Amino acid sequence: MNLPNKITMVRIALIPVVMIFLSPVYSFMPAWYNNFITGPGRYFGVVIFLLAAITDFLDGYLARKHNMVTKLGKFLDPIADKLLVIAVLIILVDKNVLSHWIAMIIIAREIIVMGIRIVAASEGKVIAASVIAKIKTIFQISAITAFLITDIINLGILADVLMGIAVVITLISGFDYVKKNIHIIKQ
């Protein structure tokens, strides 16, 4: 396992940590946990989320720069990205900070694209991330970060605008994947 793949594995390992720090307060949890989550824990959650998001760019950069692209990396990287985004979207919905419709649009796109990639992989084809998909990821991470930071410092309309842009780009990128790869699922 090379360094980029290890970085991807770290991102996957950070997902439950992010969830622990960002999880909503529940009456059945011990008071110390709820006090931590509503206090310093949320700061740790945002920092860990950002570190995990940065590993997404770092592992790909290192893999391409040092010619260490592997099948394992091609498999794990998009899964790690989707798990991180989906986990935090679910938390934001659970906290009543984000509309379930927005989360569903983003999650649906990720599942559809993953399905297309699975079918392509079964035929020995690899579908690389498009430029629009990379832009989508940047806006999703930025919007999620803005929503997480709004829990600490009210960013108000900025978080909503970033999420609106992220949703539009998510839809465009989803339609782009389907349009370019419809032949794969029509066979």
Domains along the sequence of the chain with CATH: 3-186 (1.20.120.1760)
Higher pLDDT, 35 or 8: 8
Which residues 6+ apart lie within 8 Å of 112 measured at CB? 174, 177, 178
pLDDT bucket at 42, cuts 50 / 70 / 90: confident
Comparing CA positions, the residue from 99, 103, 117 lying closest to residue 170 is: 103
Mean pLDDT calculated for residue range 133-155:
88
State the pLDDT at residue 37.
Answer: 81
**Tokens standing for residue 25:** 């307060």
pLDDT bucket at 72, cuts 50 / 70 / 90: confident
Q: Using CB atoms within 10 A of its CB, is residue 179 exposed (0-12), middle (13-18) or buried (19+)?
A: exposed
Chain mean pLDDT for the chain: 89
Distance CA 26, CA 45 (A): 17
Distance CA 78, CA 74 (A): 7
Comparing CA positions, the residue from 83, 77, 84, 48 lying closest to residue 61 is: 77
Q: Residue 164, CB half-sphere, CA atoms under 13 Å: how many?
A: 6
- What residue spans of the chain are helical by DSSP H? 3-22, 31-38, 40-65, 71-94, 100-122, 131-150, 157-186
Distance CA 91, CA 70 (A): 32
Does residue 140 surpass a pLDDT of 90?
yes
